[in-house]
Copies of this chain bind each other. A is one copy, B any other.
Amino acid sequence: MDDVDRGLLALLQADATRTYADLGREIGLSAGATHERVRKLRAAGVIRRTTVDIDPAAVDLDVLAFVTVDSVAWIGDSGPAFAAITEIQEAHVVAGAASVLLKVRTTSTGALQDVLRRIHAIAGVSSTQATIALDTFFERPTPTGGTPAHDGTGPDER
Contact = CB atoms under 8 A, between A and B. Distances in A.
Interface of A: 1, 6, 9, 12-17, 44-56, 58-61, 64, 66, 76, 78-79, 82-87, 89-96, 98, 100-101, 105-108, 110-111, 113-115, 118, 131-145, 148-149, 151-156, 158
Contacts of A136: 90-93
B144 A54 contact: yes
A158 B61 contact: no
- Helix, strand, loop or mixed for chain A's interface? mixed
Contact of A143 (B89, B137, B154): B89
Contact of A53 (B47, B82, B107): B47
Contacts of A14: 49, 51
Contacts of A83: 137-138
How many copies of the polypeptide does the oligomer hold? 2
B92 A13 contact: no
A140 B87 CA distance: 10
Given A52-B13, A53-B51, A137-B82, A60 B101 contact: no
Given A108-B156, A144-B59, A156-B111, A13 B54 contact: yes
A104 to B, nearest CB: 10
Contacts of A135: 76, 92-93
Nearest to A154: B114
Contacts of A91: 136-138
17 contacts: A1-B58, A6-B59, A47-B55, A50-B52, A66-B92, A76-B135, A78-B137, A86-B158, A91-B136, A91-B137, A93-B137, A94-B133, A98-B131, A111-B155, A114-B153, A114-B156, A118-B153
